[in-house]
A and B are shown apart, each in its own frame.
Chain A
Amino acid sequence: MRQLLLFISIIFVGILFIARLFFLQVYQDNSNNLYEDNAIRKVFDYPKRGFVYDRNGKLLVSNQPSYDVMVIPREVKALDTLEFCSLLKIDKEQFIKTYNKAYKYSPRLPYVFLPQLSKEDYAVLQEKMRKFEGFYIQKRSLRNYETTIGANVLGDIGEVNQRIMNKNPYYKMGDLIGMQGIEASYEKTLRGVKGIKFIQKDRFNRNIGPYKKGKFDTLPESGKDIKTTIDATLQAYGEILMTNKRGGIIAIEPSTGEILSMVAAPTYNPNLLVGRERSKNFNKLIRDSIAKPLFNRSIQGVYEPGSPFKLMNALVALQEGVISTDEKVTCYAGYKYGNRFMKCHCRSGTRNDMVHGIQESCNAYFATVYRRILDKPENASLGINIWSDHVKSFGLGNFLNNDLYVGQKGRIPNRDYYKGIYPKTFYSTYTISNAIGQGEVATTPIQLANMIAAIANRGYYFTPHIIKEIKDETLDPNFTIPKYTTIDKQHFEPVIEGMLSVYKHGTASHLQVPGIDICGKTGTVENFVKMDSTRVQLTDHSIFVAFAPKNDPKIAIAVFVENGYWGGRFAGRIASLMIEKYIKGEVTRTDLENWILSHSLEDEYAKPYSGEPFKINGETKLQVIPIEEANKLRTKLNKLEI
C-alpha cells in the first residue's frame, strides 16, 4: 500500500493538469483570429475614396486633405505652450484638458489632439512642428463637394458608430462610411478596400517588426470613381426653381430609367457636412423638424397621387375592356353613388370621352370607369385585386428596389387591405376615392415619375437608378432589363392623346412650350393633417406629371409642391420649365420662370405654426418675394447657362 501514494499522486496531478489545460484551451472561448489578437498591432492603409461625376462627366465630389494634430503623451517634452496654443488657435485651458484626456486614454498611444486643421493653419504649423516633440500631424482624407447642389443625391460620409462596427467587422473605430445618398448606396465601390499591416508588438506595446515578414499584409485597393445619371445643370436648375418651396422633382430618362435629377426642397449645401463643423451642422439639420432638410421628399415623401392616378385607371379600364375610347360618360357636375356625391368641376351635363375625361380631369368619368373595373368580375373583391395587380405592375405600391439609399413603399390597396374596415360586404363604391387618386392610394414622387416613364415607353419601364457607369464593372441587370407592365401597348395611345390635350386644351394649356409636344397631367391633392389631435385641412398640394416629347420621349417628370394650391400653379410651371431646360438647353418661357422665382410658399408653410386663424386654398394672397431676392435667384440661374 505504501508504494501507491506517489503513484496515485502522479496520476492525479497528471489528470488534474490535463483537465485544467482542457478548461483553458478548449472550453474557454479563445480565437486565433489575427484581428482580435492584442499582441498584434493592425495598421490600416486607407485608399483614396472614389470620385463622383455627373452624367456629362462634370466632377461633383472629390477629396481634400485634412490634418489632425496627434499626440503621444509619453513622448512630449517641455514645450513653449503659449506659442503652441497660439499656433493651434486654442487656449491654454483647452490644451491642458485635451492633454490630460490623451494621457488618460493611454500614455503610449497616439491620440487626436486637434482634428481637422485648416490648410492655412497647417502650413504655418508644419514649419514649427519639430519644436514640439511628442506631437505630429496626421493626414486624413475628407470629402470635397465641388458644387453646392444635390446634397440629397450625393449624401455624406461620417465616422462609423458602434452599431455599424458590430454589423460589419470591416469597419474599425474612426473609419468613415457613407451615411446618406450615393455615398451610402455605393459605399463599397467608392471606399475601395483598405490595406492592412500586421505588426508584432511586445509587452510594452512597442512595435518589434512586421508579423511573419508581412505575409498576411494586404495593399489597399483604391475606391472606384462613379458616374451618376444626374444632370448637374438640370439638378441645379430644379433646386433654384424649388427655392422657397417644399417638395420634390424627379426627372427620369424613360428609355433607360436613369434619374436625371432628383430635387428635394428644402436642401442644404453638402459642404456643411464636411470637416470640423460637421456634427454641429448635422445637428442643426436633423433637429429642424418642420422643414426637414434631411428628408428626401422626392423619394421618401408618401402622398396621395391625386389626378395623375386617373391615367392609371384609364389604362386598367382599357386593358380590362370595360370602356372604349369613344364611349362618353355624362358628368352632372359630379358623380352620384348611393346617397353620396363626388363633386366635379365640369358643367353639369358635359359628356366626356376618354381624351376629354383626361383633359378635363373629370371625376365622374373616372368614378364610372373605376366602378366598372371593380364590378367586372362577379364581385368587387376580385375586381379590386385585379385592379391592384395592374397598378402594381407599374412599380407602385412597393419598393422600387433601386440604388437609392432610402425609399418608401407607398400604398396600393387590395381586398386584404380593406379586410379590417369592410370584413364582410365589399362594393365598388366603398373605395371610390381611389378612382381619382385619393383615398387609400399613396405614392412617392419617384414612383409617379416611373409610372409616367412606363406610359411614355408605352408599356414598360426600367427601374429608376442613379448609377450610370462604374469603371470595369457592368451595371446591375436589374437596371438594364425592361420591366413590362400588364397593360397592352395599344391601350397607351388614347391615354397619351389625353395627356397631350391636357397641354393643348386642358388644365395645363397655359404651360405650353413652343416646339415640344408635352404630355402631362395636373393634380391637386386635398391635404389633411392631424394637428393637436384634430383633423385640419391645409392648402392642397400641387402635383404635376409629364413626359416629352410625345414621340421619342426623352424625359419623364413628376413634380410635387407641398401646399402649392393646385396642379397647374406651381408644379405644372416647374415641370414645363424643367422639360424645356432639359430638351432645349435654354428656356423660352421666361414668364413662367420669373413667376416661379418671385413666388414663395414660406408664408403658407408658416400658417399652421403661426397660432393665428388662417384660410386655405387660394383664399389668401400669394406671397411674392422682394425683387432683390428674386434677382439673386435670377443671377444664380444665369450663372448656370455658362
Chain B
Amino acid sequence: MFRQTDRHFKFDWVTIILFLILVVFGWMNILSASHTGTTINYLDISQPYGKQLMFIGLTLLLIIFILSIDAKFYERFSSLIFIVSMLSLVGLFLFGKNVNGATSWYGIGGMTIQPSEFAKAATALAAAKYISDLNTDIRTFKDQIRTFIIIIIPAFLILLQNDAGSTLVYASFFFVLYREGLPKIYLTLALALVAISILALKFGPIITSVFAILFIVTNYFIQKKKPVVLQPILTALACIVIAFGIKFFYQNILQPHQQDRISLWLRLEKDPQKVAEMRRDILYNLYESEKAISSGGFSGRGFLEGTRTTGKFVPEQHTDYIFSTVGEEWGFLGSMFVVIIFVLLMLRVLKLAELQKSQFSRVYGYSVASILFFHFMINIGMVMGLIPTIGIPLPFFSYGGSGLWGFTILLFIFIKLDSNRINEW
C-alpha cells in the first residue's frame, strides 16, 4: 500500500517538464501560424490552433491512462501491440484515405488518424522485447536478421503508403542495435554506403570507383596482418556495384521531385537558370521558410508579430514547417531555446535509458531517444536548408493529433517503465 502511493512521485519530472515546455511552446507557434483574423477564439475547432488545443487536452488524459497501467503490461503485451499496429498499417491499403499523395490516414467521421505515428512506439516495444529476450544474442547473424525483420516490416508498409519520410525514421533503430552490440562492421558499412552514395552522385560512379579502389589498395598495404587477397578485391567490386547502382537508382527509380531535391542539396545542376527554376518550383517552401527564419534576427519579431507567418508565406507552416515560425517570431534566442530543450530532452531520455536495470527498458528508452533524434535532425535540418526536403513532423511541436499522441505514447511508456526501475531485479 505504501509503495502504491509513493509510486506517483517517482516519475521523472525533468522529462515531463521538458515535454510540457515543448507542447505549450509548440501550440503557441501553431496559433501564430494558423490564426487568420484579428480575433482569436481558442476553442474554435475549425481552426488548427483550436483543434490542437483539444488534442493537447486529450493527450493529458492519455498520459494519465498510460501511467496508470502496470509497467509490466507493456513488456508482456508488446508482441500483441506490435501485431495490432502492423495490422492497422496493412488496413490502410483497404480503407486508407489519400491525402497529398500518401495513403497514410484513416478517416473516422470528421477526424483522420495516421497509424504510422503509433507504429513507431509499437516497433520500439517489439524490438526491445526481442533484443532483451534471454535467447537473443544480437552479435549472431541469425538474431541480427530477425531484429532487422521486425524493424523492416513497418518501414516497408509505410514506404508502400508513399510516405518516404516516415520510413526513413526506422533507420534510427541502428543506434539502438549498435548500442546493444551490433558488430562495428555495420557502422563501417553504413558510413561507407553514405560516403559512396554522395561521391557517386556528386562526381560520378567512375571517379568514385577509382577512389574506392585506391583507398582499399592503400589500406591493404598498410595493414600488418594481411588478409586473403580475395577480401579487398570483393570489397572493391562491391564499391563499384554500389556506386553504379546508386547512380542508376537516382536516375531511374527516384521520382523527379525527389531527384530535384537531392540535386539541389548536392548542387548537381550547374545551369543557373534551371537551378532558379527548380528553386521556384520545389524549393519554394524551403526558400520561404529560410527567409522567415532569417527575418527573425536576433530577438525575433515577437509573438503573433511575424509578417511572413501572418501572411502565410510558408506553406504547411503549422505542420512540418512549424520551426520557421519560431525562427521568425522568437528569433535566434527562441530558436536556440527550442534546440536546447530538444537536446536536453533527448539526453535526459538517453541517460535514463542507461540507468535502466532491465534490458527491455534500456532498449526501449534508447529507441525513444533515437526516434526523437531522427525527427529532430531531419525536420529542423530540412526547415533550415541543411538536408533535402523530407516531410516529417517535429515531435510535440507540429500540428496534428496522431503525431502528438504517437510521440506522447512513445515517451510516456518509457517514463512509466523508468518509474518502475526500483522494482526491477
Q: Please give the residue numbers on chain A whose beta carbons come within 8 Å of chain B beta carbons, in ascending order.
A: 2-3, 5-7, 9-11, 13-14, 16-18, 20-22, 24-26, 28, 30-32, 37, 39-40, 200-203, 208-209, 211-213
- Nearest Cβ distance between residue A305 and chain B, in whole angstroms? 61
Instruction: Give every chain A residue within 8 A of B311 (Cβ-Cβ).
Output: 39, 200-203, 208
Closest to B314 in A: A203
User: Is B377 close to A, CB under 8 A?
Assistant: yes
Given contacts A9-B373, A203-B312, are A24 and B293 in contact (CB under 8 A)? Answer: yes
Q: A17 — which chain B residues lie within 8 A by C-beta?
A: 339, 380-381, 384, 386
Q: Are A2 and B327 in contact (CB under 8 A)?
A: no
- Contacting residue for B310 out of A10, A14, A200, CB 8 A: A200
User: Which residues in window 292-334 of B have CB below 8 A to A?
Assistant: 293-298, 301, 305, 307-308, 310-313, 315, 327, 331-332
Q: List 18 A-B contacts (CB under 8 A).
A: A3-B354, A5-B179, A9-B373, A10-B369, A13-B381, A14-B340, A18-B339, A20-B384, A20-B386, A21-B336, A25-B294, A25-B327, A25-B332, A26-B297, A37-B295, A202-B313, A203-B313, A213-B38
Q: Is the CB of A26 within 8 A of B179?
A: no
Determine chain A's interface SS by DSSP, over half rule: helix
The answer to whether A6 and B293 touch across the interface, beta carbons within 8 angstroms, is no
Determine if B294 and A28 form an interchain contact, defined as CB atoms under 8 angstroms apart.
Answer: yes
Is B350 interfacial (CB-CB < 8 Å)?
yes
Chain B interface size, as a band, is: 35 or more
B12 at the interface (CB under 8 A from A): no
The residues of B that contact A28 with a CB separation of less than 8 Å are 294
Residue on A with the closest CB to B384?
A20
- The answer to whether A32 and B301 have CB atoms under 8 Å apart is yes
Closest Cβ neighbor of A21 among chain B residues: B335
For B313, give its contact among A6, A30, A39 (CB under 8 Å): A39
Out of B37, B312, B335, name the residue touching A25 (CB < 8 Å): B335
CA distance A161 to B179 in the complex (A): 68
CA distance A463 to B83 in the complex (A): 98
Expressed in whole angstroms, the minimum distance between the Cβ of B297 and any Cβ of chain A is 6
Q: Is B245 among interface residues, defined by CB-CB distance under 8 A?
A: no
**Given the complex of chains A and B, what is the CA–CA distance between A3 and B301 in angstroms?**
41
- The CA-CA distance from A26 to B336 in the complex, in Å, is 12
Residues A30 and B295 in contact, CB atoms below 8 Å apart? yes
Name B's A-contacting residues (CB within 8 A).
Answer: 37-38, 175, 178-179, 181, 187, 288, 290, 293-298, 301, 305, 307-308, 310-313, 315, 327, 331-332, 335-336, 339-340, 342-343, 346-347, 350, 354, 366, 369-370, 373, 376-377, 380-381, 384, 386
Chain B residues within 8 Å of A37, by CB = 295, 307
Q: Given A3-B179, A5-B175, A25-B327, does the pair A13, B376 have CB atoms closer than 8 Å?
A: yes
Assembly CA distance A289 to B175 (angstroms): 83
Closest chain A residue, CB of each to CB of B369: A6
CB pair B384 A25 closer than 8 Å: no
Contact of B178 among A2, A21, A22 (CB under 8 A): A2
Cα-based distance from A428 to B305 in the complex (angstroms): 76
Contacts A10-B343, A25-B331; A203 near B288 (Cβ below 8 A): yes
Additional 14 contacts, C-beta under 8 A, given A7-B347, A25-B297, A40-B307? A6-B179, A6-B369, A13-B376, A14-B340, A14-B342, A17-B381, A18-B339, A20-B384, A21-B339, A25-B327, A26-B332, A37-B295, A202-B311, A208-B310
Cα(A25)–Cα(B333), bound, Å? 10
Among B178, B301, B308, the most chain A Cβ lie within 10 Å of the Cβ of B308
Q: A22–B332 contact, CB under 8 A?
A: yes
The docked-state distance in angstroms from the alpha carbon of A510 to that of B335 is 90
Interface centre among A14, A26, A31, A202 (most CB of B within 10 A): A14
Q: Which residues of A contact B369 (CB under 8 A)?
A: 6, 10
Q: Is the CB of B336 within 8 A of A6?
A: no
| A residues less than 8 Å from B340 (CB atoms) | 14, 18
CA distance A10 to B305 in the complex (A): 32
Residues on B with beta carbons closer than 8 Å to the beta carbon of A25: 293-294, 296-298, 327, 331-332, 335
Chain B residues, Cβ within 8 Å of A26: 297-298, 332
A26 to B343, CA, bound (A): 21
How long is the Cα–Cα vector from A17 to B381 in the complex, in angstroms? Answer: 7
The prevalent SS among residues of B at the interface is helix
Kindly report which residue of chain A lies nearest to residue B181, judged by CB atoms: A2
Q: Report Cα–Cα, A605/B332, bound state, in Å.
A: 72
Closest to A11 in B: B343
Q: A6-B179, A11-B343, A18-B339 are in contact. Are A32 and B295 (CB under 8 A)?
A: yes
Shortest beta-carbon distance, B80 to chain A, in Å?
29
Q: How far is the CA of A11 from the CA of B288 in the complex (A)?
A: 28
Assembled-state Cα–Cα distance A25/B295 (Å): 7
Contacts of B288 in A (CB 8 A): 203
Please judge, given known A-B contacts A10-B350, A32-B301, A203-B313, whether A18 and B366 are in contact too, CB under 8 Å: no
Bound-state Cα–Cα, A13 to B382, Å = 13
Q: Are B307's CB and A39's CB within 8 A?
A: yes
Give the docked Cα–Cα distance between A4 and B373 (Å).
Answer: 14
Cβ contacts under 8 Å, B37 to chain A = 209
Of all chain A residues, the one with the shortest Cβ separation from B176 is: A6
- B residues less than 8 Å from A10 (CB atoms): 343, 346-347, 350, 369, 373
- List the A side residues contacting B290 at CB < 8 Å: 24
**Smallest beta-carbon distance B296→chain A, Å:** 6
Q: Are B339 and A14 in contact (CB under 8 A)?
A: yes
> What are the 7 tightest A-B residue pairs by CB atom distance, in nearest-first order?
A39-B307, A14-B343, A25-B332, A39-B311, A6-B175, A203-B313, A24-B294
Flag if B346 contacts A202 (CB, 8 Å): no
B308 to A39, Cβ gap below 8 A? yes
Task: Flag if B370 contacts A21 (CB, 8 Å).
Answer: no
Find the A residue at minimum CB distance from B298.
Answer: A26
Select from chain A the residue with minimum beta-carbon distance to B38: A213
Distance, CA A25 to CA B311, complexed state (A): 20
B354: A residues at CB distance < 8 A? 3
Cα A414 to Cα B342 with chains together (Å): 78
CB nearest to A40 among chain B residues: B307
Measured between beta carbons, the chain A residues less than 8 angstroms from B381 are 13, 17
B314 to chain A, nearest CB (A): 8
Chain A hits for B307, CB < 8 A:
37, 39-40, 200, 211
Given the contacts A10-B346, A11-B343, A13-B373, A202 and B179 also touching, CB distance less than 8 Å? no
Alpha-carbon distance between A202 and B312 when the two chains are bound, in angstroms: 6
Assess the B178–A5 pair: CB atoms within 8 A. yes
CB-nearest residue of chain B to A6: B175
Query: Whole-angstrom distance between the alpha carbons of A11 and B312 in the complex?
Result: 33
Residue in chain A with minimal CB distance to B346: A10
Contacts of A208 in B (CB 8 A): 310-311
Whether A30 contacts B350 in the complex (CB less than 8 A), given A6-B370, A200-B311, comes out as no
Cα distance A209–B307 in the bound complex, in angstroms: 12
Residue of B nearest to A7 (CB): B350
Separation in Å of the B305 CB from the closest CB of chain A?
8
Taking CB atoms, residues of chain A closer than 8 Å to B346 are 10
How far, in whole Å, are A202 and B373 apart by their CA atoms in the complex?
Answer: 34
Tell me the bound Cα distance from A40 to B310 in angstroms: 10
A193 to B343, CA, bound (A): 52
Q: How far is the CA of A30 from the CA of B295 in the complex (A)?
A: 6
Minimum distance in angstroms from A541 CB to a CB of chain B: 63
B350 proximity list for chain A (CB < 8 A): 6-7, 10
Residues from chain B with Cβ under 8 Å of A18 in the complex:
336, 339-340
Q: How far, in whole Å, are A128 and B105 apart by their CA atoms in the complex?
A: 55
- Shortest Cβ gap from B270 to chain A (Å): 24
Nearest CB in chain A to that of B347: its residue: A10
Contact of A30 among B178, B297, B342 (CB under 8 A): B297
Contact among A2, A21, A202, A209 with B293 in the assembled complex (CB-CB below 8 Å): A21
Cα(A211)–Cα(B304), bound, Å:
11
Of chain A, the residue at the smallest CB distance from B305 is: A212
Q: Which residue of B lies closest to A31 (CB)?
A: B297
Q: Given A3-B179, A21-B384, A201-B311, answer yes or no on A209-B38 (Cβ-Cβ < 8 Å).
A: yes
Q: Which residues of A contact B293 (CB under 8 A)?
A: 21, 24-25
Q: Is the CB of B377 within 8 A of A13?
A: yes
| Known contacts A6-B350, A40-B307; is-contact A30 B294 (Cβ 8 Å) | yes
| Chain A residue nearest in CB terms to B180 | A2
